């Protein structure tokens, strides 16, 4: 069934079709419509789930931890300050190896207050031990939420998954979205199993008591290995999804005309679509441009990124986020991946679109051109796109 849906409602439909049976929710712009829609699904009897309206995001994730540890298929959503407020519980959820899924409508952090699109919130939690998937359009939002449970509950993974979608560009923008039938989704996603351990009166375990240095590192190694294992599982899930529903997102990476490209923009999220359009325009001018959309931030697909970019002359990494004092987070990840190459491509980082500032097709055309020019000049200093400090003197 084709329906016109916002990104937020696509996430809610994804949770509905995944037959989640526990939702803990707290509102925050721009995510709120996700939990509103789910509340409606539950109250109208469309979704058979416990839905608790908690008093904070910290408690939303805590309640999901309790529910998931007891065997529920738990879902929540957040944004920005809400996500950072629940940060403690996100670390707890992943080290507890609980297959929770959370949708994040990514938004800037204050002060000053700003509800605009930015990826700093979700990327600040890249070390929280979750699988992190970033999407480009509303269809991918819906599909990825369902896929996320399949990945999270795979016994090689057993980890929580975050789905990142751009504030407003996706969260509040409506697009036609194909809603798969429940029957087909059930075929793709079986009910959650009670393996390996659940909190249960019949089978008492102590969860999470103190560990000694003699085993803590080993537990962290297993956690790290599980996140790495998710790479293959994500690829398998993408293939299985394609076989059933005819749609593929490339699994870890979404390559757009990278095969013969001399200059490639590496990006995350919705504005990758604008980058692709800019690449098309430049191709018409004879410039071999390509776009590499990184779909999975954790586990970071280092080998795959290296493989694609090893053939490229110049790389532009665009970051809609900021790690102050370091720079863009994605560029740092990409450079980390490329270090092992004997012959490395030229890499230039760009900071853009913070706090909801518009990023246009023209901006991406300029980035492609500037990267080629900087390559000739050997200038790999990071650039802030459309920075105008004079506005602060007004």
Partner 1 sequence: MSLQIKELDRKEYLLPGHTACPGCPAAMGLRLLGKALGGNMILVIPASCATIIQGAFPKTSLTVPLINVPFASSAAIASGISETLDLQHKDVPVVVFAGDGGTGDIGLQALSGAAERGENIIYICYDNEGYENTGIQRSCSTPYGAWTTTTIKGKPEKRKDIPSIIAAHGVPYVATASVSYPLDFIDKVRKSSKIRGLKYIHLHAPCPTGWRFPSEKTIEVGRLAVLTGTWILYEIEYGSFRLTGPSRSLLDRGKRKQVEEYLKAQGRFKHLNNEMIKRIKEEVESKWEEVKGLTLRGERGSHL
Binding region for partner 1 (CB under 8 A): 21-22, 24, 50, 52-56, 58-60, 62-72, 74, 88-89, 92, 199-201, 203-212, 215
Closest approach of partner 1 to the CB of residue 132, in Å: 21
Nearer to partner 1, 52 or 338 (CB): 52
Nearer to partner 1, 207 or 339 (CB): 207
Closest approach of partner 1 to the CB of residue 58, in Å: 6
Nearer to partner 1, 63 or 133 (CB): 63
Closest approach of partner 1 to the CB of residue 102, in Å: 14
Closest approach of partner 1 to the CB of residue 72, in Å: 4
> In whole angstroms, what is the distance from residue 384 CA to residue 373 CA?
16
C-alpha 1, offset from chain centre: 26
Nearer to partner 1, 215 or 393 (CB): 215
Closest approach of partner 1 to the CB of residue 13, in Å: 22
Nearer to partner 1, 59 or 280 (CB): 59
> 3-class SS at 242?
helix
Q: What tokens appear for 220 in the block?
A: 């962290």
Residue of 285, 282, 288, 278 lying closest to 318 (CA atoms): 278
Closest approach of partner 1 to the CB of residue 204, in Å: 4
Residue 239 in contact with residue 216, Cβ under 8 Å?
A: no
Query: 246: alpha, beta or left, given left = phi > 0 and alpha = psi -120 to 50?
Result: left
> In whole angstroms, what is the distance from residue 280 CA to residue 365 CA?
10
Nearer to partner 1, 55 or 183 (CB): 55
Closest approach of partner 1 to the CB of residue 103, in Å: 18
Cβ of 283: how many Cβ atoms within 10 Å? Answer: 14
Residue 4 in contact with residue 175, Cβ under 8 Å?
A: yes
Nearer to partner 1, 95 or 338 (CB): 95
Residue of 247, 224, 233 lying closest to 151 (CA atoms): 233
Residue of 365, 228, 105 lying closest to 220 (CA atoms): 228
Nearer to partner 1, 88 or 285 (CB): 88
Closest approach of partner 1 to the CB of residue 45, in Å: 16
Q: At 219, which helix (H) or strand (E)?
A: helix 213-245
Q: How many residues does the chain have?
A: 394
> In whole angstroms, what is the distance from residue 104 CA to residue 121 CA?
9
Q: Scan for tokens 């659940």, then name that residue.
A: 198
């Amino acid at each position: 069934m084709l329906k016109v849906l916002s990104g937020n409602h696509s996430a809610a439909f994804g949770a509905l079709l995944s037959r989640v049976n526990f939702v803990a929710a707290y509102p925050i712009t721009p995510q709120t419509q996700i939990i509103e829609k789910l509340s409606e699904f539950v109250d109208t009897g469309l979704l058979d789930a416990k839905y608790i309206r908690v008093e904070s995001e910290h408690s939303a994730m805590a309640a999901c931890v309790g529910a998931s540890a007891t065997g529920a298929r738990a879902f929540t959503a957040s944004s920005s300050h809400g996500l950072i407020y629940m940060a403690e519980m996100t670390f707890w959820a992943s080290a507890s190896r609980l297959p929770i899924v959370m949708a994040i409508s990514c938004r800037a952090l204050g002060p000053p207050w700003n509800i605009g699109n930015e990826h700093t919130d979700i990327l600040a939690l890249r070390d929280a031990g979750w699988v992190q998937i970033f999407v480009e359009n509303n269809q991918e939002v819906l599909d990825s939420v369902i896929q996320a449970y399949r990945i999270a509950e795979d016994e090689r993974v057993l980890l929580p998954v975050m789905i990142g979608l751009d504030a407003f560009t996706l969260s509040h923008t409506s697009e036609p979205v194909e809603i798969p039938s429940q029957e087909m989704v059930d075929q793709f996603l079986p009910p959650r199993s009670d393996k390996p351990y659940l909190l249960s009166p019949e089978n008492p375990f102590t969860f999470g008591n103190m560990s000694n240095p003699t085993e803590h590192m080993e537990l962290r190694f297993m956690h790290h290995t599980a996140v790495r294992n998710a790479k293959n599982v994500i690829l398998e899930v993408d293939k299985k999804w394609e076989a059933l529903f005819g749609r593929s997102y490339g699994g870890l990476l979404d390559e757009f005309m990278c095969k013969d490209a001399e200059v490639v923009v590496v990006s995350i999220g919705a504005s990758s679509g604008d980058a692709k359009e800019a690449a098309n325009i430049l191709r018409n001018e004879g410039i071999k441009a390509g776009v590499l959309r990184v779909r999975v931030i954790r586990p970071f697909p280092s080998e795959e990124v290296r493989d694609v970019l090893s053939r490229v002359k110049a790389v532009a990494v665009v970051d809609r986020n900021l790690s102050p004092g370091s720079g863009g987070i994605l560029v740092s990840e990409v450079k980390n991946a490329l270090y092992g190459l004997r012959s490395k491509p030229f890499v230039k980082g760009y900071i853009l679109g913070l706090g909801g500032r518009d990023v246009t097709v023209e901006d991406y055309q300029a980035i492609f051109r500037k990267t080629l020019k900087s390559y000739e000049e050997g200038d790999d200093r990071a650039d802030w796109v459309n920075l105008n400090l004079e506005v602060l003197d007004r």
